[in-house]
A and B are shown apart, each in its own frame.
Chain A
Amino acid sequence: TQLLEQSPQFLSIQEGENLTVYCNSSSVFSSLQWYRQEPGEGPVLLVTVVTGGEVKKLKRLTFQFGDARKDSSLHITAAQPGDTGLYLCAGALPGTYKYIFGTGTRLKVLA
């Protein structure tokens, strides 16, 4: 069974701090996505990274795909209370149409 491990599981920080969330696997993925989920809602796609070593920025969020396409990181600069939520990574298995999700990182940003 393919496994995507996210760390940390929980993170509580003050507004203005920086943070990094990690998504690691022993499997290679065709692509990797990051989602954010609010309570009572479905996950919302933030970004897709496809190429090994790729870096994408979305305002204060920076996403990186590992060179070997087995891992990824999400870095948030100057976190704000609006960043609070559950962050999920998901990997697309090569040659299939399946996405495997990590267990998530629950972020709380305190004002």
Chain B
Amino acid sequence: NAGVTQTPKFQVLKTGQSMTLQCAQDMNHEYMSWYRQDPGMGLRLIHYSVGAGITDQGEVPNGYNVSRSTTEDFPLRLLSAAPSQTSVYFCASGGRQNYGYTFGSGTRLTVV
């Protein structure tokens, strides 16, 4: 049982480049979210989804796009990378509202 799989684990981008962080879960979970984790700031919600075809913004959505065409996949797109987007990104999924998430192991992104 793979759980939540994130790829890549590490990525270095130049300012202005775009890329997609991949996230897949095999638990048939309805709820999926993307968070970024920065030192001293905890986890901040970027975007979330409550099912295929349904997404909404979190606390820090600017500069990021998401889509959810299938239950399993929830990619996060950086449109034009900026140094302020240097962070560790976590994808998470949950099967029941209010009962917490299973997290992936993260993608460490550096924008230079």
Q: Report yes or no: A48 in contact with B48, Cβ–Cβ below 8 A.
A: no
Within 8 A of A (CB), among B74-96: 90, 92
Given contacts A42-B103, A97-B50, A99-B33, contact A31 B98 (CB under 8 A): yes
Contacts of A33 in B (CB 8 A): 99-101
Given contacts A97-B97, A99-B33, A103-B40, contact A44 B103 (CB under 8 A): yes
Q: Report yes or no: A98 in contact with B99, Cβ–Cβ below 8 A.
A: no
Number of interface residues of A (CB under 8 A): 24
Dominant secondary structure of chain B at its interface with chain A:
strand
- Partner of A50 from the list B4, B31, B98 (CB cut-off 8 Å) is B98
Contacts of A100 in B (CB 8 A): 45, 59
Q: Does A11 contact B (CB under 8 A)?
A: no
Q: Report yes or no: B98 in contact with A48, Cβ–Cβ below 8 A.
A: yes
- Partner of A48 from the list B41, B43, B100 (CB cut-off 8 Å) is B100
Interface residues of B (CB under 8 A from A): 4, 31, 33, 35, 40-45, 48, 50, 56, 58-59, 90, 92, 97-106
